[in-house]
Amino acid sequence: MKLLLLSDSNSVHTIKWATSLAKSGIDIIIFSLAELSVKDYDNIKNINIKTLGEILSRDESTLSKLKYLKALSAIKEIIKEFQPDILHAHYASSYGLLGALSGFSPFVLSVWGSDVFSFPLKSPLHKFILKYNLKKADKILSTSHVMAKETKLYTNKEIEVTPFGVDMEQFKPMEVKSLFEKDNIVIGTLKALETKYGIEYLIRAFKIVSEKYSNLPLKLLIVGGGSLELELKQLVKDLKIDNKTIFTGKIPFVEVPIYHNMLSLFVSVSQSESFGVAIIEASSCAKPVVVSNVGGLPEVVEDGVSGFVVPPKNPQETAEAIEKLALDKNLRERIGKNGRERVKNLYNWSDNVRQMIGIYEELLK
């Protein structure tokens, strides 16, 4: 099978889909608007990267009409030479528009989040573009039910949910060289340090719990980089918990399972999120999780079974959930074990890849 992916080649989502599908023997060309800046595709013979060579984000406003015409011309040339069996665009606005305008069929379109939650609200034209792209697609995919529901506002077509799961062999409970003492109770998160991920509320919740239980060896681990790093470090100092907190900065993806395994419990109290991959990674490592009741997060956590769901922007209720888990090691172990079982049943990456290949094969019948 030959697959043409229209997607950001530097995105971890693209990397994971492309490398996994390539392992299944599919020949892949990835067309990316941005220049390649990662090495994840090195030595994978059946993946080729073609780029427009632009330095840009996925924000469609950075793409001029001229760049679209240039990109469309390049895609049509690739189709002519490569003769793909399937064209799959990841991100329903920018790459989706290129897929729709290419006129190729079968055309698969995956929605990612902001492309359906915010893009169509910008103007009537943006809404028209999204509807047009969805209309042209032979198959529409979403990583979560909440995102599929949002997408249904713009199309009458059926939307299949294709979870973005985790490799359970990579993300599993294991002994790691930790930054902490063995008896420490480590509360933390692995997220970009940006407003939408609500790291401030985790920090304030930790302050409440650590002040209440000053006798316990509670520690806070914040893994990730981002524009709020200095601001959050200052908040930690102001709250006088800097002696209990470690910021790691951005880490390579291969180290993510190591840091998950340093935690006693994982917290993700985002203000908005379409799907919680980091939460699934934590659960796969058998860590109990505390998440906010927004977007796709309540979908990946069964409240009271594989974790606790709390209101967003609420340090007090977040602190109460953290307290329950911090004080009861047996509860942490039970909820962590339930979480890994849930991942096995719903978010096992090998199952997700098989599902995607099945979708492609069905379209080719």
Q: What is the pLDDT of residue 295?
A: 83
Res 55: pLDDT: 45
User: Domains in the chain and their CATH numbers?
Assistant: 2-165+349-363 (3.40.50.2000), 185-346 (3.40.50.2000)
DSSP 3-state of 202? helix
Q: What is the pLDDT of residues 163-182, one digit of tens each?
A: 989 999 999 999 999 999 99
Q: What's the CA gap between 77 and 233, in Å, rounded?
A: 49
Q: For residues 163 and 143, is the Cβ–Cβ distance under 8 A? A: yes
Is 295 in contact with 306 (CB distance < 8 Å)?
A: no
| DSSP 8-class letter at 276 | -
The alpha carbon dihedral of 204, 208, 211, 215 has a sign of negative
> Looking at residue 127, what is its pLDDT?
96
Cα 352 to chain centroid, rounded: 14
Strands (E), the chain: 2-6, 27-34, 47-54, 86-90, 107-111, 139-142, 159-161, 185-190, 218-223, 245-249, 265-268, 289-292, 307-310
Specify the length of the chain in residues.
Answer: 365
CB 339 within 8 A of CB 283: yes
Q: Three-class SS of residue 78?
A: helix
pTM of the model: 0.80
Query: CA 53, CA 95: separation in Å to the nearest integer?
Result: 15
Question: Do β-strands 218-223 and 185-190 pair in parallel, antiparallel, or remain unpaired?
Answer: parallel
Low-confidence ranges of the chain (pLDDT < 70): 53-65
Q: Is the Cβ–Cβ distance between 305 and 284 less than 8 Å?
A: no
Task: Give the C-alpha separation, 364 to 232, whole Å.
Answer: 50
Q: Which of 225, 190, 252 is nearest to 39 (CA)?
A: 252
Closest CA to 196 of 117, 132, 141: 117
Cis peptide, bond prior to residue 252, ω within 30 of zero = no
Give the CA radius of gyration of the chain. 21
pLDDT at 337: 98
